[in-house]
Structure 1
């Protein structure tokens, strides 16, 4: 399903915003009338950078694009990360790639087209090769097929563009970014036993004994269930919220906790946001200066009106508890996403940001970046009043047997650190999803190293 031309007026205005946020200057973008190239200028300055313009490749909604590599260092440019830089969409590149031109420089690769294609997730529009949860999987993506999923390829190319900008306008200072970490926690199961039905409680107790050999917790389960009325029980193994906030406070981080506020499937939570214990948890999170957000239920990702209803339900609970926040964001349950349907649903619900866009089956850079950015609908061809906060890694993606299956072994720790270091190299944000229910003793150690 082809999208809007990425160099349409609306798309160019959006890309100008991307460049202003990244470099700190208001550049003007203009496509050549014959479609042969794109120019990047500063207002009232004769100097410019011209870039190749690929008018067809980066409007495609498939993963069969070519890909080649470019050795930046061999041509005198500094790469953000070690190794040759992937160039999605190009079967071959001119040598040298970047050459002096009248009043500036010319770049023989469509960096801005790539930026549009990756950030808008044009690749995913209308796809039918989905997994059993209706998700576009990493293993079908161009990035996975060509080995660059674990590299923020857009950031790497913009790093090169920044160097060309500096050579074109030596007197300007570009915006300097600092590496940061954002941690978030989908509250799928706030309590191991507290909200379970009688049947669910027996199932949990049996699992404790037969699967985990945890007789102690199994014996405590009925007591915990009985005493989860006004607050989560301190002995509940999934009640790790104070530990999470303590760790975040130690590292100067703000934890974001996303709550489910609807029932559309058996895959959803067994609690209601209005429950006194959940209200008490929300008050405590707010008192400690952390964030509360939305985790729309399993069946909402294609239904704009349901996401809006669940957002309003959360807002109502927060208002009743006199909890006020500067912004409201969250993430889809099971990372279910349909582009651009779900994106527009978040915007229509009046949310400030979404942090769904990482893959469930593999960690990495689904959007090719570790920077937050303004949303753009590639079908309607318009910018949306919403921020996209890409998700780099979910703990389950690395550790769970149904995905990479690395468990708590050294290989898992190395994978987490590899992704973190890629964000360090790009001076971006390492975004981590770690569920409160995935924090046993060993997992706590791994999670602590990431903060």
Structure 2
């Protein structure tokens, strides 16, 4: 069965990108798109046996104020309590927040009359808002690393950042489609876990820099009051400078790979290959024996290697290209060939207007920078991979985004969520993982090799990597509800 989607005639490329992502990429529906009514979206099958009407609210609301703060969804968001109208619509408890949409004249968010139905959610406008990071173009807030912070986002201000809102909308769309086309086959499966590691510090900095060693020794003696720790550190540095890193606390790579292998998962290790930002890009070099051996071990054990773009590379295609080529050359020196197509930016630095196009120009196929440093959750409203939007050309790129859902330091770091190494932090991460996987997204987790420092770290990471088997059937889970506290 082929579907026809009619849409208003403005912002055609943006509208098409949203529709092709939701209907074509996420649901796999054969689709033809054309311009139709000026004030609505209309989805029907090729024989016009049934139709679904949706309002055009987001794009209509931006007319005359495109990319202005006034065009953003206003708080508080309306909520649709779907139980009475469309009980099989699957979403978290507490009602479904509405980024863009409106009930019909009778006040109904869902109304079906025969083979024609009205759904009051502007799913396609909402999808473009989430996937393009529209608000990051409309707002000027940036932190000290020039990053758009979670604290400025609509999702966090509305208490929705830990909800996969776009994936919830997709589940509602599935319920609506099954009402109108009961025999339709929809690909609804449980997501998968993706473990990633950013190698900022493959070993203690004091092994290479005297200033860092002195600072650490002073901390051991005066701040932590652990003279034995100071002596142990000196012993580790003495060994490391002779090529023995077996006792270095940052050398957790074999343990990390073993944990992933026990779950049948492939890890991706993002490695810094340049120093455009100076000392902030770490103190290691790809040609040193420890790094050469590490590259070989990662490759031989079947894990993936990606580039951790240096601090200033997020706005420089030439630097990104040079670093990708340097990492590929280091792999060849280590005895194997690897085409480095995956990238994540150091410090999660990201410019939505420029970075995606620069990455594509530099030869990358997939980015996984797409999370916030200051809070875990869904920056793009989804855990699914998708093609990134390029604001410069006004078109989607071939470059794909695999959103980063959680970084360990975002949860435990005192400058961020400040949950510490606690039961509460692990519960929050586990809840986020389960919510992400249940709604069909991939839970992409970042844990630094240098942050495996305690029993809590090992137990927490082991628990998060323990992915439940099985893929629920859409109709079996259609009426499930998940605790509202998962969204808090």
- Equivalent position of 2:457 in the other structure: 443
C-alpha contact 1:370 1:392 (8 A) present in aligned 2: yes
Pair 1:24 & 2:34 matched: no
- Equivalent position of 1:396 in the other structure: 409
- Equivalent position of 1:366 in the other structure: 379
Pair 1:109 & 2:121 matched: yes
- Equivalent position of 1:204 in the other structure: 216
For residues 336 and 9 of structure 1, do their structure 2 counterparts lie closer, same or farther at Cα, with a shift above 3 Å needed?
Answer: closer
1:195 offset after TM fit, Å? 4.6
- Equivalent position of 1:119 in the other structure: 131
Q: How many residues align?
A: 445
For residues 159 and 31 of structure 1, do their structure 2 counterparts lie closer, same or farther at Cα, with a shift above 3 Å needed?
Answer: farther
For residues 98 and 13 of structure 1, do their structure 2 counterparts lie closer, same or farther at Cα, with a shift above 3 Å needed?
Answer: same
- Equivalent position of 2:143 in the other structure: 131
1:199 offset after TM fit, Å? 1.8
- Equivalent position of 1:12 in the other structure: 16
C-alpha contact 1:118 1:154 (8 A) present in aligned 2: yes
Q: Distance in 2 between matches of 1:416 and 1:13?
A: 31
- Equivalent position of 1:83 in the other structure: 94
1:45 offset after TM fit, Å? 4.7
Can you list the C-alpha shifts for 1:286-336, whole angstroms capped at 9, x where unaligned? 111111111111112222222222112112212333434576212111111
- Equivalent position of 1:49 in the other structure: 52
1:229 offset after TM fit, Å? 6.4
Tell me the C-alpha RMSD between the 2 structures. 2.3
Can you list the C-alpha shifts for 1:230-282, whole angstroms capped at 9, x where unaligned? 96611000100011011111111111110111112231111112222111101
The DSSP-based 3-state class of the residue aligned with 1:186 is strand
Further displaced range: 188-197 or 207-216: 207-216
The DSSP-based 3-state class of the residue aligned with 1:323 is coil
1:206 offset after TM fit, Å? 2.6
For residues 172 and 226 of structure 1, do their structure 2 counterparts lie closer, same or farther at Cα, with a shift above 3 Å needed?
Answer: same
Residues 146-165 of structure 1: pairs in structure 2 closer than 5 A: 146-165=158-177
Q: Distance in 1 between matches of 2:82 and 2:225?
A: 54
C-alpha contact 1:187 1:258 (8 A) present in aligned 2: yes
The DSSP-based 3-state class of the residue aligned with 1:374 is strand
For residues 56 and 316 of structure 1, do their structure 2 counterparts lie closer, same or farther at Cα, with a shift above 3 Å needed?
Answer: farther
The DSSP-based 3-state class of the residue aligned with 2:117 is strand
Q: Distance in 2 between matches of 1:401 and 1:336?
A: 20
- Equivalent position of 1:291 in the other structure: 304
Q: TM-score, normalised by structure 2?
A: 0.85
For residues 73 and 28 of structure 1, do their structure 2 counterparts lie closer, same or farther at Cα, with a shift above 3 Å needed?
Answer: farther
1:73 offset after TM fit, Å? 1.9
Q: Distance in 2 between matches of 1:16 and 1:197?
A: 51
1:187 offset after TM fit, Å? 0.4
Can you list the C-alpha shifts for 1:153-183, whole angstroms capped at 9, x where unaligned? 0000111011111122222211132221111
For residues 341 and 402 of structure 1, do their structure 2 counterparts lie closer, same or farther at Cα, with a shift above 3 Å needed?
Answer: same
Pair 1:421 & 2:434 matched: yes
1:57 offset after TM fit, Å? 3.7
1:82 offset after TM fit, Å? 2.3
Q: TM-score, normalised by structure 1?
A: 0.92
C-alpha contact 2:17 2:128 (8 A) present in aligned 1: no
Give structure 1 stretches of 5+ with no counterpart: none
- Equivalent position of 1:250 in the other structure: 262
For residues 411 and 56 of structure 1, do their structure 2 counterparts lie closer, same or farther at Cα, with a shift above 3 Å needed?
Answer: same
Q: Distance in 1 between matches of 2:376 and 2:406?
A: 5
C-alpha contact 1:81 1:425 (8 A) present in aligned 2: no
1:147 offset after TM fit, Å? 1.3
Further displaced range: 40-49 or 132-141: 40-49
For residues 9 and 101 of structure 1, do their structure 2 counterparts lie closer, same or farther at Cα, with a shift above 3 Å needed?
Answer: farther
1:72 offset after TM fit, Å? 1.8
For residues 134 and 237 of structure 1, do their structure 2 counterparts lie closer, same or farther at Cα, with a shift above 3 Å needed?
Answer: same
Q: Distance in 2 between matches of 1:17 and 1:141?
A: 22
Pick the aligned partner of 1:72 from 57, 82, 86.
82
Pair 1:181 & 2:193 matched: yes
Can you list the C-alpha shifts for 1:32-83, whole angstroms capped at 9, x where unaligned? 342x111223445543322111223465454842221111223233223222
For residues 242 and 133 of structure 1, do their structure 2 counterparts lie closer, same or farther at Cα, with a shift above 3 Å needed?
Answer: same
Pair 1:271 & 2:290 matched: no
The DSSP-based 3-state class of the residue aligned with 1:447 is helix
The DSSP-based 3-state class of the residue aligned with 2:20 is helix
The DSSP-based 3-state class of the residue aligned with 1:385 is strand
C-alpha contact 1:184 1:255 (8 A) present in aligned 2: yes
- Equivalent position of 2:346 in the other structure: 333
Can you list the C-alpha shifts for 1:349-376, whole angstroms capped at 9, x where unaligned? 1112111111111111110001111112
